[in-house]
């Protein structure tokens, strides 16, 4: 079984987001970049499937050289090799095109990624890749097992979940609790240094969207404190002042 | 040339988020000097379908093939793509939801469309086509220029306040040919909470965290939610501890909500939690720790014991 795990390099979840150049560029200064948290779940499940069933796991990233620490960490966690498309991930369509190009050359049984990247929160790439390859896409997947050529999955839906079966190949957007995040051990870190990382040039240049500029949310007004023994006042204020109930 | 809106059904009724999408789409159509057409897929009666007119759609295309009775992102995306072709639609609007998200991406692939996820305002068409979207899980906004010929807008809840008229939409049967490959998934089991207010659709949300001390104490949260007709939610630790199901977890790696009112009880307000709730209109924080960071992001705050405050609030709501 061949598994492709697509990962993003994104600002740590505790990052205070700021912009520079008149709000046209994300301010990378002092920002710690991490593997997308959802992508981490996808990778962890891929490594588990490899250990359980035998599989090769290839990590895939569209990014510039500064994404390599994230890729090396994925190799340290247990992926066998990696492909980096040397380009800025301009938009979802562009990234999907890169994944589809690689997958057309080498067929994968499973293409896994996070349900969404935590920077743009688009959650589009898996669906577009599925469309480009003409195979099903499912997201968000919170449980994944493979028996022969059948994948058994659980997907979260509004107010619940559903169990799904489908034939490989599939593209899946993953989320917890599909697997526990894995932390690389020393041996993994050492071997990751020599695992193959192929750098390829982008296929196609289709970007269908562009960010013109950014904006920060307006700060909320000062909090109005209500004494605990007058809690019922809150309900009055919510009705007469905030007018939300 | 019309603006096309995918309107989602829940048990044969148009979802509230889809009414918003129809109203939003009709406003965009007005800006473009064209009309709004809604696509509805699955079983629904004619009277219900015609109500799309109240929110500004002049026409409803109804795809009622029995194979489409169960929600299916891939098949539904194919139906909407066929409708977009028939109507020559350059703008497709849908509300964010499990189904809407799955469809939007497949549609973008089919139509090679520029897709704006998490749209929070009407577009600016003064030069090009620009939409404001929420990014970094609500920590910032981006103004997206959609350059493709076809644009898809996935709108967040509470993006627009709907207004209703007494107009009705004409309903046309729509029966595009269906593709077998779109029915490759076999759903073997569905577990869905019934009777409850669905979290992503809810106008009011009562959420609780570890301050509740254990799953057995959730009764006071549910009581307040019931009195308010609100949905219940929880923080990540609570879902990780299995006190509550994962579909109630709001935050950066859970559900993002934007209700009119978000009440947080016993949640300290980690930055990852705030990210999932900060587009709520009004935030109420109840915590016994006066230094809980959540108070800084709240509109109303009560420093106190949730076990005393929540029942008091429930009583006050019942007395309204």
Residue B187 touches partner A, C-beta closer than 8 Å: yes
- Which of A163, A177, A210 faces B147 most closely, judged by CB atoms? A210
pLDDT surpasses 70 at A10: yes
Cβ neighbours of residue B201 under 8 Å, at least 6 residues apart? A158, B15, B16, B17, B97, B157, B231
Q: Residue B105 is encoded by which pair of tokens?
A: 């991406």
Instruction: Indicate the residue among B183, B212, B238 that finishes a domain.
Output: B183
Q: Nearest CA of chain B to the CA of A180: how many Å?
A: 11
Residue A92 touches partner B, C-beta closer than 8 Å: yes
Number of structural domains chain A divides into:
1
Residue A54 lies in a domain: yes
Determine the Cα–Cα distance for residues B73 and B312; give it in Å rounded to an integer.
44
Chain B residues touching residue A127 (CB < 8 angstroms): 73, 102, 104-106, 108-109
Cβ pair A244:B282 closer than 8 A: yes
Kindly provide the ipTM of the predicted complex, given to two decimals. 0.91
Cβ pair B148:A124 closer than 8 A: no
Residue B188 lies in a domain: no
- Here the CATH number for the domain that contains residue A89 is 3.40.50.620
Across the beta sheet with B151-155, what order do the strands follow?
A209-215, B140-146, B130-135, B114-119, B151-155, B91-95, B3-7, B36-41, B59-63, B170-173
Other beta carbons less than 10 A from residue B161's beta carbon = 7
Domain span including residue B299? 199-318
Enumerate residues 95 to 114 of chain B having a beta carbon within 8 A of any beta carbon in chain A. Answer: 97-98, 101-102, 104-106, 108-110, 112-114
Same-domain pairing of B63 and B99: yes
Residue A236 lies in a domain: no
Mean pLDDT on B222-229: 96
Which whole-number Å values give the CA distances from B315 to A228, A242, B273, B287, B312, in the listed order?
14, 19, 28, 19, 5
Closest residue by Cα to residue A232 from B219, B280, B308: B308
Mean pLDDT on B298-302: 97
Residue A163 lies in a domain: yes
Domain span including residue A180? 2-217
- Here the CATH number for the domain that contains residue B273 is 3.40.50.1220
pLDDT surpasses 70 at A84: yes
Same-domain pairing of B136 and B11: yes
- Which of A128, A157, A166 faces B98 most closely, judged by CB atoms? A157
Number of structural domains chain B divides into:
2
Enumerate residues 54 to 73 of chain B having a beta carbon within 8 A of any beta carbon in chain A. Answer: 73
Q: Where are the beta strands (DSSP E) in chain B?
A: 3-7, 9-10, 13-14, 36-41, 59-63, 91-95, 114-119, 130-135, 140-146, 151-155, 170-173, 186-192, 204-208, 231-234, 261-265, 282-287, 300-303
- Exposed, middle or buried, A167 (CB in 10 Å: 0-12/13-18/19+)? middle
Q: Residue B226 is encoded by which pair of tokens?
A: 């019931």
Determine the Cα–Cα distance for residues A18 and B288; give it in Å rounded to an integer.
32
Which residue has better confidence, B313 or B191? B313
SS3 content of chain B, % helix, strand, coil (to 5): 35, 30, 35
Mean pLDDT on A88-94: 93
Q: Which of B114-118, B135-139, B235-239 bottoms out in mean pLDDT, i.e. has the lowest? A: B135-139
Interface test with B, best of A216, A238, A239 (most B CBs within 10 A): A238
Residue A62 lies in a domain: yes
Confidence of residue B198 (pLDDT cuts 50, 70, 90): confident
pLDDT in tens, A23-59: 999 999 999 999 999 999 999 999 999 999 999 999 9
Residue A169 lies in a domain: yes
Q: Nearest CA of chain B to the CA of A189: how many Å?
A: 27
With beta carbons less than 8 A apart as the criterion, state whether B106 and A126 touch: no
Residue A204 touches partner B, C-beta closer than 8 Å: no
């Amino acid at each position: 079984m061949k598994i492709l795990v697509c990962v993003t390099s994104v600002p740590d979840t505790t990052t205070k987001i700021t912009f520079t150049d008149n709000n046209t560029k994300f301010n990378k200064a002092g920002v710690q970049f991490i593997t997308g948290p959802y992508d981490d779940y996808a990778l962890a499940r891929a490594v588990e499937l490899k250990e359980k069933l035998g599989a090769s796991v290839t990590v895939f990233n569209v990014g510039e050289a500064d994404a390599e620490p994230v890729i090396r960490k994925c190799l340290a966690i247990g992926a066998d090799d990696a492909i980096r498309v040397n380009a800025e991930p301009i938009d979802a369509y562009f990234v999907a095109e890169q994944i589809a190009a690689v997958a057309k050359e080498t067929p994968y049984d499973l293409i896994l990624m996070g349900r969404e990247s935590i920077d743009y929160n688009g959650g589009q790439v898996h669906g577009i890749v599925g469309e480009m390859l003409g195979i099903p896409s499912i997201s968000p997947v919170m449980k994944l097992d493979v028996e022969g050529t059948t994948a058994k999955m659980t997907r979260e839906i509004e107010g619940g979940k559903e169990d799904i079966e489908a034939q490989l190949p599939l593209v899946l957007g993953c989320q917890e609790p599909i697997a526990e995040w894995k932390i690389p051990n020393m041996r993994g870190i050492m071997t990751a240094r020599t695992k193959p990382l192929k750098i390829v040039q982008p296929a196609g240049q289709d970007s269908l969207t562009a960010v013109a500029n950014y904006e920060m949310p307006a700060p909320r007004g000062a909090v109005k404190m209500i004494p605990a023994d007058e809690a019922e006042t809150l309900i009055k204020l919510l009705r007469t002042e905030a007018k939300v109930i | 040339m019309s603006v096309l809106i995918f309107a989602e059904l829940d048990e044969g009724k148009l979802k509230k988020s889809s009414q918003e999408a129809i109203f939003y789409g009709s406003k965009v159509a007005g800006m473009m000097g064209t009309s709004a057409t809604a696509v509805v897929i699955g079983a629904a009666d004619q009277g219900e379908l015609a109500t799309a007119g109240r929110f500004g759609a002049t026409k409803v295309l109804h795809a009622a093939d029995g194979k489409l009775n169960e929600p299916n992102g891939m098949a539904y995306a194919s139906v909407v793509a066929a409708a977009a072709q028939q109507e020559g639609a350059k703008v497709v609007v849908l509300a964010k939801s499990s189904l809407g998200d799955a469809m939007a991406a497949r549609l973008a692939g089919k139509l090679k469309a520029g897709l704006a996820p998490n749209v929070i305002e009407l577009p600016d068409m003064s030069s090009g086509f620009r939409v404001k979207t929420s990014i970094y899980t609500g920590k910032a906004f981006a103004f997206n220029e959609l350059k493709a010929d076809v644009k898809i807008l996935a709108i967040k809840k509470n993006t627009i306040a709907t207004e209703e008229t007494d107009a009705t939409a004409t309903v046309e049967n729509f029966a595009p040919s269906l593709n077998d490959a779109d029915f490759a998934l076999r759903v073997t089991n569905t577990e869905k909470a019934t009777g409850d207010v669905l979290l992503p659709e809810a106008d009011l949300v009562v959420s609780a965290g570890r301050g509740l001390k254990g799953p057995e104490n959730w009764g006071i949260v549910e009581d307040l939610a019931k009195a308010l007709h609100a949905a219940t939610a929880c923080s990540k630790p609570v879902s990780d501890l299995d006190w509550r199901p994962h579909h109630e977890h709001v935050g950066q790696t859970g559900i993002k909500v934007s209700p009119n009112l978000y009440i947080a009880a016993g949640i300290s307000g980690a930055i990852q939690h705030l990210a999932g709730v900060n587009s709520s209109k009004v935030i109420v924080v109840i915590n016994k720790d006066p230094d809980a960071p959540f108070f800084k992001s709240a509109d109303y705050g009560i420093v106190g014991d949730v076990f005393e405050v929540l029942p008091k609030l429930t009583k006050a709501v019942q007395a309204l």
